[in-house]
Amino acid sequence: MKSDRQIPSAAMQCSDRPNMTRSERSGFTLVEVLVASVIGAFIAVVAVGALRAVSAGSERLDGNIDTAAEVRFAASIIARDLNNLYRDEDVNNMKLVGLLGQSGARPASRLVLYTVGRTKARAGQPEGDVYEVEYCLKESRKENKTVLLRRLWPNPDKEVEPGGMLTVIAENIDVFQVRYFDGEQWQLEWSEQLESIPVLVEVNIAARQADGKDTVMETFMVNFPRSGWGQGKAKKQGEDEEENEEQEKGEEKGQR
């Protein structure tokens, strides 16, 4: 007996096979790969640029913070030495000298004084508690920067050539200016021949920030009360004037 089931022909089988849609195909075309590569490269370039900008900004910020910290540190050391100025009734035992010099092409102050320190500068070596300190600017041509130096001399002696230890307390300093107020006017220098100490001392320190755009500046003043110490000629002149006034008053009473 012949079976009633019919076997479809090959043509029918091919025609009845369902068509595969785009979503059913596996893999990407060459155009899709190229487009994706271009987009990925663009994103990578943008990300690297942003990362570099953030890193450079962070470095500049850290540099600016370091510069500001150095300026504050230098100002605190100078203020401490001035506040601890060694004072004596005999002006010859004291020292506070302010000079105006040059650091490269720029004017800069030079400050020398006797200060009292409780911490030994040299361990295991004999020294008192009075030190000579000096502050000045020095231009370093090799490193192309200006540094603020502090010279510390234990056991100072006016009869001996000044010595001591040099220390860099701040770098890239543009301005180091010290002014002195004698009670009437400000001066840029204070000579040892005045045989007295000023009423006020003003110190200005300025440094370039790491980005070179802005400047960090620190200003402070130190007041020296008129206690009779180190008044020298000014004190003697005042005493002479008072004595002359008393004599004049006595003579006027005698004439009456």
pTM of the model: 0.67
- Is the pLDDT assigned to residue 149 strictly greater than 90? yes
Please state the rounded mean pLDDT for residues 218-228: 81
In a domain, 88, yes or no: yes
Residue 170 domain-assigned? yes
Say what the pLDDT of residue 251 is.
58
238 belongs to a structural domain: no
| pLDDT single digits (tens) 162-201 | 888 999 999 889 899 999 999 899 999 999 888 888 999 9
Position 167 in a domain = yes
Token readout for 217 is 């500046």
pLDDT of residue 126: 76
What pLDDT score was predicted for residue 178? Answer: 95
Average pLDDT over residues 24-45: 80
Count of structural domains within the chain: 1
The pLDDT tens digits for 208-222 are 876 667 788 999 999
Residue burial 163-195, b: 16+ Cβ < 10 Å; e: rest: ebeeeebbbbbbbbebbbbeeeeebeebebebb
User: Does the residue 115 lie in any domain?
Assistant: yes
Domain-located, residue 243: no
Residue 178: which region, alpha, beta or left (left: phi > 0; alpha: psi -120 to 50)?
A: beta
In a domain, 2, yes or no: no
pLDDT at 234: 46
Domain that holds residue 111: 63-229
In a domain, 42, yes or no: no
pLDDT of 229 higher than 70: no
